[in-house]
Amino acid sequence: MARKDIKRQEVIVTGFGGQGIVLAGRILGMAAALGDHRESTLVQSYGPESRGGACCAQVIISDAVIQYPYIEAPDILICMSQSAYEKYRTALKPSGRLLTDKDLVAPGGDRPEVFSIPATRMAEELGRKMMANIIMMGFATAVTGVVSLDAMKTAVTASVPKGTEEMNLAAFVKGFDYGASTLKGREKKKSGTAGRIGAVR
């Protein structure tokens, strides 16, 4: 493979302890490595508190061997708390994609394109607030395409507690469908704009 063809994506998943941030990062890396047969690394960090403090998972996915596992400028930034957004927002590449929990993060106006989902609210509606991270992973899969749908489904099933596989898979699909719907809505909006320009001519 020519060097220029090597695809590499750097992803930061961040929020606070207790949201399943590290598990989300582990699922993403596992899906890339075992399902999509690519290289991946995971580096996790916690704040001073084990629960409620800052939490971060850095995942690199690449077609080539990864020499250095730490991320300085992510291609994809997934924020599930306002403090996480404030801490990492300036690190995101200008062309990078920002994904947020709609009810927990209020992004500033400095980024033209933000993908948001009310993941925590949707998880509460499902009766399991702890599944917000799984919903977010479904949303990220649809919006970014950084890993395949089948690989993520397999990784989710293998990573969650026994007896909760179906429930978590349903949460994942709910997030994925929301992401697919979001993309479709944006495509329609773009098409509508193009049509109006054509009519003026």
pLDDT digits (tens, 9 = 90+) for 128-172: 999 999 999 999 999 999 999 999 999 999 999 999 999 999 999
- HEC string for 166-198: HHHHHHHHHHHHHHHHHHHHHHHHHHHHHHHHH
Dihedral (Cα; 173, 175, 181, 182), 10-degree rounding:
-160
Q: What is the DSSP letter of 35?
A: I
Q: Could you give the number of structural domains in the chain? A: 1
Q: Assess if residue 81 is contained within a domain.
A: yes
Helix (H) or strand (E) holding 54: strand 54-62
d(CA 29, CA 35): 10
Closest to 31 in 3D by CA, of 156, 130, 195: 156
Alpha helices in 42-164 (DSSP H): 82-88, 119-125, 132-144, 149-159
Q: Assess if residue 87 is contained within a domain.
A: yes
For the record, the structure tokens of 157 come out as 């099933």
Q: Assess if residue 150 is contained within a domain.
A: yes
Q: Which domain CATH number covers 129?
A: 3.40.920.10
pLDDT digits (tens, 9 = 90+) for 87-134: 999 999 999 999 999 999 999 876 667 999 999 999 999 999 999 999
State the burial class of residue 163 (Cβ atoms within 10 Å of its Cβ: 0-12, 13-18, 19+): exposed
Domain that holds residue 146: 8-196
Could you tell me which residue, 109 or 32, shows the higher pLDDT?
A: 32
Q: Assess if residue 1 is contained within a domain.
A: no
